[in-house]
């Protein structure tokens, strides 16, 4: 390249010599400062994303405060209480000795749940039970946005302070995935504010379609069950109560129903339906069938279900409705809504293939039941 420049302007040309010197200096500077230049470039990209996330976080805070004022009608300004809520954290139990860690975590989650509910009722005294659940979901979405913002800001400021490229790369490389999750929570704000069904509610919607028109009763905290006759079998269909935003305690509900039914009324099979993350390339709303307890979360409810079915050697089947991470807490799209009808048909086919007439089959619709009644 230097030879070509020299030939272009002539070997004795002052301009050619100047350009060769500049190119040489540029190469030397880049040789010694390439890493720093790369770090500064990544920092600028992180800084741009950080500003975007801050705007989303601030919008979540604003929507939360306005919704609390509108629905809860507090006497005093709820802003300080909302800001305090957004700084909540949970310290998980020690897991060096795993024996009993599930019950410890379950107890912590129960305390967290009751604490959140009490705080929401305190700052929104006029809210109904369903509105309290929706407000709690809204505040938790805002809390998640606040955590995302603080973590990104932490790595940005730490990287800027140290100019350590490895610190900066940690956040820069995963930013695209983080931003997708943040945008999903941003879309969730409106859903939780207005009580609109979300993608995670597909399992609950399937259960609601199965139990539609049949009498139901509460069987566990925020969990309802209905007996539905189908093809000579008795289906015991359970879901979170709704229409407020809640996932209930499906582990307690399944354990109670299995424990109460003995002899000829024994549960012969458990079929669980829930949303599941799809891989890139898979269509939204695709239906997949499998084996095991289809339920996410911290694992406490899943543990209860697995213990209950293991005690009586009950086979557990799963139906998964595939969705992207951006759909989990965002308003339910049409592809997911229509997929629930295919999930109902899949459950009915599984019942006919895997059970016999006279059997009792427990069908559990798992997911957040915001906007979904019975």
Least confident of 21-25, 72-76, 227-231: 21-25
CATH homologous superfamily for the domain 199-365: Peptidyl-tRNA hydrolase (3.40.50.1470)
**304, 295 Cβ separation under 8 angstroms:** no
Q: β-pairing, 360-365 with 233-240?
A: parallel
pLDDT at 3 (0 to 100): 47
pLDDT tens for each residue of 159-175: 999 888 888 988 999 99
Give dist(CA 319, CA 322) in Å, integer: 10
* E-state strands within 195-307: 216-220, 223-230, 233-240, 267-277, 287-291
Element (H, E) at 365: strand 360-365
pLDDT at 360 (0 to 100): 95
pLDDT at 263 (0 to 100): 78
What percent of the chain stands above pLDDT 90? 74
pLDDT at 265 (0 to 100): 85
Taking alpha carbons only, the member of 340, 355, 363, 319 closest to residue 231 is: 355
In the block, residue with structure tokens 């697995």: 306
User: What average pLDDT score do residues 333-362 get?
Assistant: 95
**53, 110 Cβ separation under 8 angstroms:** no
pLDDT at 31 (0 to 100): 67
pLDDT at 1 (0 to 100): 45
Give dist(CA 124, CA 70) in Å, integer: 9
**322, 286 Cβ separation under 8 angstroms:** yes
pLDDT at 32 (0 to 100): 67
Top pLDDT among 5 and 346 is at: 346
For residue 362 the two structure tokens come to 């427990």
> Which pTM was predicted?
0.86
Of the pLDDT bands very low, low, confident and very high (cuts 50, 70, 90), residue 5 is very low
Of the pLDDT bands very low, low, confident and very high (cuts 50, 70, 90), residue 280 is very high
| pLDDT greater than 60 at residue 225 | yes
Q: What are the residue ranges spanned by the domains of the chain?
A: 46-194, 199-365
Give dist(CA 123, CA 65) in Å, integer: 10
Average pLDDT, the chain: 90
In the block, residue with structure tokens 């458990």: 270
User: What average pLDDT score do residues 109-113 get?
Assistant: 94
């Amino acid at each position: 390249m230097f030879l070509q420049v020299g030939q272009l302007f002539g070997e004795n040309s002052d301009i050619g010599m100047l350009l060769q010197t500049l190119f040489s200096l540029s190469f030397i500077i880049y040789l010694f400062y390439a890493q720093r230049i790369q770090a500064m470039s990544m920092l600028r990209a992180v800084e741009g994303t950080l500003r975007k996330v801050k705007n989303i976080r601030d919008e979540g805070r604003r929507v939360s405060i306005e919704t609390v004022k509108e629905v809860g009608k507090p006497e005093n300004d709820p802003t300080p209480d909302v800001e305090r809520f957004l700084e909540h954290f949970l310290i998980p139990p020690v897991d060096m000795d795993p024996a009993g860690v599930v019950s410890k975590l379950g107890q912590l989650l129960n305390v967290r749940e009751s604490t959140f509910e009490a705080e929401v009722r305190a700052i929104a005294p006029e809210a109904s039970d369903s509105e309290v659940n929706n407000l709690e979901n809204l505040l938790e979405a805002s809390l998640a946005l606040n955590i995302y913002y603080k973590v990104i800001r932490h790595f940005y400021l730490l990287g800027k302070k140290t100019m350590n490229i490895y610190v900066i790369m940690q956040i820069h490389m995963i930013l695209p995935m983080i931003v997708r999750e943040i945008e999903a929570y941003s879309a969730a704000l409106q859903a939780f504010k207005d009580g609109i069904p979300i993608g995670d509610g597909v399992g609950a919607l399937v259960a609601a379609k199965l139990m539609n028109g049949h009498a139901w009763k509460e069987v566990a905290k925020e969990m309802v069950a209905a007996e539905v006759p189908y093809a000579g079998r008795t289906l015991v269909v359970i879901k979170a109560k709704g229409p407020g935003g809640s996932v209930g305690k499906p582990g307690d509900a399944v354990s109670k129903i299995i424990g109460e039914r003995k002899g000829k009324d024994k549960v012969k099979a458990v079929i669980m339906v829930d949303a599941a993350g799809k891989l890139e390339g898979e269509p939204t709303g695709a239906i997949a069938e499998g084996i095991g307890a289809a339920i996410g979360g911290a694992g406490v409810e899943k543990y209860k279900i697995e213990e209950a079915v293991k005690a009586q050697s009950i086979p557990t089947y799963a139906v998964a409705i595939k969705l992207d991470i951006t759909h989990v807490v965002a308003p339910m799209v049409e592809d997911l809504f229509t997929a629930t009808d295919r999930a109902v048909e899949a459950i009915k086919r599984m019942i006919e293939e895997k059970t016999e007439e006279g059997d009792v089959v427990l069908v559990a619709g798992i997911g957040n039941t915001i906007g979904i009644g019975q």
